[in-house]
Amino acid sequence: MNKRIVILFLVAVSLLLSNKLMAQHGVPFIKNISASAYSHLSTETQNWCFEQSNDGIIFIGNTAGIFEYDGNTWRLMQTSNSSVVRSMHKDANGRIFVGASSDFGYISPDSTGQNKFVSLLHLVPETLRNFNNVRTTVCINDKVYFITLNEIFEYNGSSIRIIHPEFPPIRSFKTKNSVYLQQSVPGVYELFDSQIILLPETEAITPAQVLEFTDGSLFIFDRNKGFYTYSTSKGLTEIETDGDFLAKLNQDAFYTATIVNNDKIAWGTLLNGIYITDVQLNVIQRINKRTGLLSNTVYGVFADSDDNLWMGLSFGIAMVEINPQITKFNQSHGIDAQVLSMTEYNGSYYFGTTDGIYRLDESGSIPNFIHYGSSGEVWELLEHNGHLFAFTNRGVFAVYPFEIGKTVPLSGGVYCILKSEKHKDYIYVGLTNGFEIIKLTTDKLDNIRITERVEIPELKEDIRSLLEDEEGNVWLSTNFDGLIKLSFKGENLDNYKIQRFGVKEGLPQTDNNNVFRWKNNYIVTTKSGIFSINTSKEGKTFFRRDSIFGAVPASDKYYFTRILQYGDKVFLQSNHEFG
């Protein structure tokens, strides 16, 4: 099923949207792993590099050695001299080579099947073994290069050849098919067939980063001159920017970068987390301590096989889901209240919260939220007859582009509303103390008027959600008393039948259930997962667990309080963190 799902976390007071434009600017899911997660193995907190095995295991270069992490458990492998590991790279056969301090080698399973570090230092003459940090390890064809500040060690599978560059390689950059060097003289140099060759047209460039796209073209960053692309067919081409992003990278102490999804670049800094940009250098996302990152100091960035972004931090590790369809907005974007409702109206997104109305303002480079002032808890937003109405614990008012109207009281505080498809122009209203049906209009001055009101005196429950099925029946969920089905006889709304459902019919409990309609499916969210409303051959109603949104939402671990549908998008709202 082709659907997009967004989850709104009320615990963190954050908002997640699936709209393509907004997803470019929100905060993605961040999984922080503090140093305490592996403190039983090492007290070293700094993490420098990553690699992923063919079976999905993540290996992390740490100051204490190599961590092996399967998503749940940790193991520590130390090098022969127990030194820091600053670089790793996997060859075409899946073997991971490791660069440490005055040591290098590879990861291989022992006789028991556990991975261990195998040193290749014995292949290096004793007089040349004090080479300090191997800052880059790169596998090219059938050779592996371990690059230090003075020498380059070339491993062919059986022996080591030592390359002595004419100029010291200050920095080196591994790509899919090659390795490039920043030397003590200007120019971008390629290590090709054991030779160091200057790329034509790059004589004036001092590369701080070289990346490679899938088409073989290069992306080159110079701290002073800016950004370039390079290919053998087109040569060196400068990327025109306004200079603002270049200034930000220098101000924040750029350290490392990598390509994600082949259409984004993650820029790690030492002072302000990471930037995610597109290839035209438009900033899509800022990820730092302000937006939830464990530390602002990023030493390593790595995109795994699922294009999740791993970051080696000064005090732990972070994994970010770089997904263009799911991102998060929070206090840093100007919304500082629990989100209760949302809708799209006249090209803008409006949000009802515990502190009134917010509107998403997309006029700037980074979207922000405009607050319309405190107007109570806005539980529902409804577009009706060309107007946007907000239903609150105090009544209902109209929402205009830059202000809100006066509140008209209802029979009680509003929890939920539903515009009837069967009975046109009528709105079903779930109250804190019952249920009513209203007709709502505005006069020439846009003042709200309730022209008709139908009350159901038998219903005194706290109504939390509403659903209208294809036959025009209305399903009501209550706070404590299960579900209610309200059936009308013909067009007369005063002629109705009430049925009640609970645990006997298959609900896991009678409290905190909510009803929703997704296409032609009638869904109940419970404290024990998602259920569907079904009818037996005998015409009896029953409820059963449903995996319409996948196995995780259906499980009994998550409680989704709200499901909102806009076109092909689904918004799930949860009181539990999910991700």
- Nearest Cα neighbor of 311 from 271, 351, 267 is 267
- E strand spans, 456-510: 463-468, 474-478, 483-489, 492-501
For residues 358 and 314, state if they share a domain: no
For residues 254 and 358, state if they share a domain: no
Instruction: Report the 3 state secondary structure along 495-545.
Output: EEEEEEECHHHCCCCCCCCEEEEECCEEEEEECCEEEEEEECCCCCEEEEE
Q: How far is CA 573 from CA 16, 428, 560, 567, in A?
A: 9, 22, 5, 17
Q: How far is CA 458 from CA 453, 499, 507, in A?
A: 16, 11, 23
The enclosing H or E element of 384 equals strand 378-384
Residue 42 placed within a domain: yes
Query: Which of 140, 164, 188 is at the close of a domain?
Result: 164
For residues 264 and 371, state if they share a domain: no
The enclosing H or E element of 553 equals helix 551-554
Rounded to two decimals, what is the model's pTM? 0.65
Instruction: Write the single-letter amino acid at 479.
Output: N
CA–CA dist 480, 442 (Å, integer) = 35
Which pLDDT belongs to residue 17? Answer: 46
Residue 443 placed within a domain: no
Q: How many CB atoms are located within 10 Å of the residue 12 CB?
A: 13
Which pLDDT belongs to residue 9? Answer: 38
Q: In terms of residues, how long is the chain?
A: 579
Are 383 and 390 a contacting pair, CB within 8 Å?
Answer: no
Q: In what order do the strands lie in the sheet with 414-419?
A: 414-419, 426-431, 434-442, 448-455
Report residue 24 as tokens. Answer: 């470019």
Residue indicated by tokens 């409702």? 341
Residue 8 placed within a domain: no
Which pLDDT belongs to residue 2? Answer: 37
Number of structural domains in the chain = 3
Residue 134 placed within a domain: yes
Instruction: Write the single-letter amino acid at 236.
Output: L
Are 127 and 102 a contacting pair, CB within 8 Å?
Answer: no
For residues 286 and 269, state if they share a domain: yes
Query: Which of 164, 192, 210 is at the close of a domain?
Result: 164
3-state SS, residue 344: strand
Domain residue limits at 104:
38-164
For residues 74 and 144, state if they share a domain: yes
3-state SS, residue 226: strand
Measured in whole angstroms, the distance separating CA 364 from the mean position of its chain's CA atoms is 22
For residues 302 and 368, state if they share a domain: no
CA–CA dist 516, 510 (Å, integer) = 16
Q: pLDDT tens track of the chain, all 579 residues?
A: 333 334 443 333 344 444 443 444 556 778 899 999 999 999 999 999 999 999 999 999 999 999 999 988 999 999 999 999 999 999 999 999 999 999 999 999 999 999 999 999 999 999 999 998 999 999 998 999 999 999 999 999 999 999 999 998 999 999 887 899 999 999 999 998 889 999 999 999 999 999 999 888 999 999 999 999 999 899 999 999 888 999 999 999 999 999 998 889 999 999 999 999 999 999 888 899 988 899 999 999 999 998 899 999 999 999 988 754 555 666 666 677 888 888 889 988 899 898 899 988 877 656 678 888 877 899 889 998 888 999 998 889 988 888 888 888 888 889 889 999 999 889 999 999 999 999 988 776 667 888 899 999 999 999 999 999 999 999 999 999 999 999 998 888 989 999 999 999 999 999 989 898 887 889 998 888 889 999 998 889 999 988 877 765 666 766 766 666 656 666 666 654 433
For residues 54 and 148, state if they share a domain: yes
Residue 6 placed within a domain: no
Residue 108 placed within a domain: yes
For residue 309, give every residue at least 6 positions away whose Cβ sits within 8 Å of its Cβ, in sequence order, or none. 258, 260, 266, 274, 301, 302, 303, 319, 320, 321, 322
Instruction: Write the single-letter amino acid at 231.
Output: S
Measured in whole angstroms, the distance separating CA 485 from the mean position of its chain's CA atoms is 38
Which pLDDT belongs to residue 530? Answer: 87
For residues 75 and 113, state if they share a domain: yes
DSSP string, 389-437: EEEESS-EEEE-SS-B-PPBP-SS-EEEEEE-SSSTTEEEEEETTEEEE
CA–CA dist 158, 86 (Å, integer) = 23
Which pLDDT belongs to residue 101? Answer: 96
Which pLDDT belongs to residue 335? Answer: 74
For residues 309 and 403, state if they share a domain: no
For residues 275 and 377, state if they share a domain: no
Residue 462 placed within a domain: no
CA–CA dist 49, 41 (Å, integer) = 18
For residues 106 and 159, state if they share a domain: yes
For residue 247, give every residue at least 6 positions away whose Cβ sits within 8 Å of its Cβ, in sequence order, or none. none
For residues 85 and 154, state if they share a domain: yes
**DSSP class of 290:** G
Residue 246 placed within a domain: yes
Residue indicated by tokens 């000064």? 314
Query: Which of 164, 195, 227 is at the close of a domain?
Result: 164
User: What CATH number is associated with residue 98?
Assistant: 2.130.10.10
The 8 Å CB, 24+ separation contacts for 20-23 are 20/324, 20/325, 21/362, 22/327, 22/329, 22/349, 22/360, 22/362, 22/367, 23/323, 23/324, 23/325, 23/326, 23/327
